[in-house]
Structure formats: structure tokens, C-alpha cells
């Protein structure tokens, strides 16, 4: 793995979070966390932390509102019983950062393309931790987003990691696009319509109504075949072996695809 990003300059000054003023900017400081003496000191609002050091800090019982963390280092930090509302994390290093019982939207994190290529394993670990945290606090939407990001970076691990597996990467990419990481009901609907349309196109000229059959009849035949209903009033006639082979493949695909879609729907309902 390539060396993790570092700060542009050495950090020589420390700053207690309690002393940070609202709507201020803090740059190249080591942030310390002393025990607040009042509840108001637990809240930090509209502060931009730029290239600040949070490594190995114990961040507990703090609430952040509208804060931005840009190129900050959180290596080995422990985040617990905190809340992050409308905060942004841009290219922050979260190696071995632990988190629990914390309100934090996984969509708050943004990473440049270099993270996909060099540190996908670090982000995969982090989003897996976020998924676990989101499940513990019963934030199902957060858990779904964290799982999506985890699978995204795991896919890049297969392509660019130490053990390169391009075939597994391609299968993972197909899974992402067709099933939306296992959560995409809309993805499943679009792919299903695509399957039916493709089969209707392939079956053009092979139905028992060659003179009167149009696009609607072919689509209708595809739907009843895909759903395995098989009413029988429209059947294949011409070039029987080709039609039989195409229909058989389509029926097998429809059974497999129906099972996959059912699993996706159940997963979304359970979540």
C-alpha cells in the first residue's frame, strides 16, 4: 500500500476544542479534547478544520454542526457518543479510527480518485465500521449508505490491491450496476424491462402471428414467458429450434432473476 497522505507541514501547536470560536477556521493544529465544564462547551458550530491532527484523540460526547474537516488526520482516534450534523469530511485519513454510538451520515465523506487507487482498503475498513455503528444506533438509511460505500471500495481492492482479481472486479461492477449494491429496487426494475425488451426483439418473426403480430404482441409474449405464466395463445412457430433455445434460456434467466430481485426487495423491507 502506498504511504497514506500526510499534512503539508509539521504540526507544532495544539489547540483545545473548547477554545475554538464559532464560524472560525483552524489550520495545522493538533486538536485536544479536555473535559467540558458546561453543556454549551460540547457544541462546535460552523468551524472549518483544515489539515488538523486528531490522531489518537478520544472524541467523546461532542456535537458538531455545519463543520468541515479538510485533509485532516484521524488515525487511531476513538469517536463515541458524538453527533455530526451537516458536516463534511474531505480527503480525511481515517486509518484505524474507531466509532460507536455516534450520529454520522456516511454521505458526509468525500474522497478523490487517488483514494480509489491507493487506499481503497483503508476506506473499506472505515465504511464497514460506519455500517456497524449505524446499525447499532438504528439508522437504517445510514447503514445502507455505508454498506454501499464499503462494497464500492472493496471492488477497487479486487482490481488494484495486492491480489488483483479483475474477473471478480467485473462481477462486482455488474452487481453494483444491476442491483445497486443489493439495495437498488429501481435498478432491478430497469434491468427487468431491459431483459423483456431484448427478448421481445429477439423473438421478432418467431411467433404464431407473423402477419398481425406487432411490438405489443412481442412484449406481451416476453412478459408471460418471463413471469412463467405462459397463457399459450401466442406461441413460437417459425424456426422452432432457435425459438425453443431462446425461450428456454429466457425462462431459466427469469427464474434466477426473480429470485435475485425478491432477495433485494426483502432486504430493503427488512432494513
Residue 202: which CATH number? 1.10.287.70
At 178, list the grid cell.
Answer: 444491476
Verify that 190 and 179 share a domain, yes or no.
no
Q: Which of 125, 152, 183 is the last residue of a domain?
A: 183
Query: Can you give the CATH number for the domain in which 73 is found?
Result: 2.160.20
Verify that 92 and 27 share a domain, yes or no.
yes
Q: Which of 150, 183, 216 is the last residue of a domain?
A: 183
Verify that 197 and 144 share a domain, yes or no.
no
Whether residue 109 lies inside any domain: the answer is no
Q: Which of 183, 215, 237 is the last residue of a domain?
A: 183
**Domain coverage including residue 227:** 185-270
- Identify the three-state secondary structure at position 16: strand
Verify that 29 and 69 share a domain, yes or no.
yes
Give per-10-residue mean pLDDT for the chain (271 aa).
86 94 94 92 96 96 97 96 97 96 96 89 94 93 91 80 72 76 77 81 64 71 72 60 70 76 69 59
Whether residue 242 lies inside any domain: the answer is yes
| Tally of structural domains, the chain | 3
At 263, list the grid cell.
Answer: 432477495
Q: What angle do CA 44, 49, 55 make, to 5 degrees?
A: 95
Verify that 199 and 257 share a domain, yes or no.
yes
Contact 33, 19 (CB under 8 A): no
Verify that 169 and 193 share a domain, yes or no.
no
Closest Cα partner for 55 from 101, 93, 102, 5? 93
Verify that 100 and 1 share a domain, yes or no.
yes
Strands 25-27 and 48-50: parallel
Closest Cα partner for 54 from 35, 83, 38, 33? 33
Whether residue 173 lies inside any domain: the answer is yes
pLDDT on residue 237: 59
Verify that 4 and 96 share a domain, yes or no.
yes
Distance CA 169, CA 154 (A): 9
Whether residue 26 lies inside any domain: the answer is yes
Verify that 121 and 216 share a domain, yes or no.
no
Residues paired with 43 in a beta bridge: 63
Distance CA 269, CA 271 (A): 5
- Identify the three-state secondary structure at position 4: coil
Contact 80, 14 (CB under 8 A): no
Verify that 85 and 98 share a domain, yes or no.
yes
Verify that 179 and 190 share a domain, yes or no.
no
Amino acid at each position: 500500500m502506498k504511504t497514506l497522505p500526510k499534512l503539508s507541514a509539521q504540526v507544532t501547536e495544539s489547540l483545545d476544542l473548547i477554545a475554538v470560536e464559532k464560524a472560525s477556521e483552524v489550520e495545522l493544529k493538533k486538536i485536544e479534547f479536555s473535559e467540558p465544564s458546561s453543556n454549551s462547551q460540547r457544541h462546535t458550530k460552523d468551524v472549518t478544520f483544515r489539515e488538523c491532527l486528531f490522531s489518537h484523540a478520544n472524541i467523546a460526547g461532542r456535537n458538531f454542526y455545519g463543520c468541515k474537516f479538510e485533509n485532516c488526520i484521524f488515525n487511531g482516534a476513538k469517536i463515541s457518543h458524538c453527533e455530526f450534523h451537516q458536516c463534511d469530511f474531505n480527503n480525511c485519513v481515517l486509518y484505524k479510527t474507531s466509532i460507536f454510538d455516534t450520529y454520522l451520515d456516511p454521505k458526509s465523506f468525500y474522497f478523490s480518485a487517488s483514494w480509489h487507487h491507493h487506499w481503497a482498503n483503508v476506506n473499506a475498513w472505515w465504511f464497514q465500521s460506519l455500517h456497524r455503528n449505524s446499525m447499532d444506533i438504528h439508522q437504517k438509511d445510514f447503514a445502507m449508505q455505508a454498506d454501499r460505500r464499503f462494497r464500492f471500495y472493496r471492488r477497487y481492492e479486487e482490481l488494484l490491491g495486492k491480489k488483483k482479481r479483475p474477473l471478480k472486479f467485473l462481477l462486482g461492477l455488474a452487481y453494483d450496476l444491476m442491483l445497486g449494491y443489493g439495495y437498488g429496487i429501481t435498478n432491478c426494475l430497469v434491468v427487468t424491462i431491459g431483459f423483456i425488451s431484448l427478448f421481445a426483439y429477439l423473438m421478432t418473426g418467431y411467433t404464431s402471428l407473423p402477419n398481425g403480430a406487432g411490438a405489443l404482441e412481442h412484449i406481451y409474449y416476453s412478459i408471460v414467458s418471463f413471469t412463467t405464466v405462459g397463457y399459450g395463445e401466442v406461441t413460437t412457430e417459425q424456426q422452432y429450434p432457435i425459438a425453443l433455445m431462446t425461450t428456454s434460456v429466457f425462462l431459466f434467466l427469469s427464474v434466477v432473476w426473480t429470485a435475485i430481485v425478491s432477495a433485494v426487495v426483502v432486504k430493503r423491507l427488512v432494513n
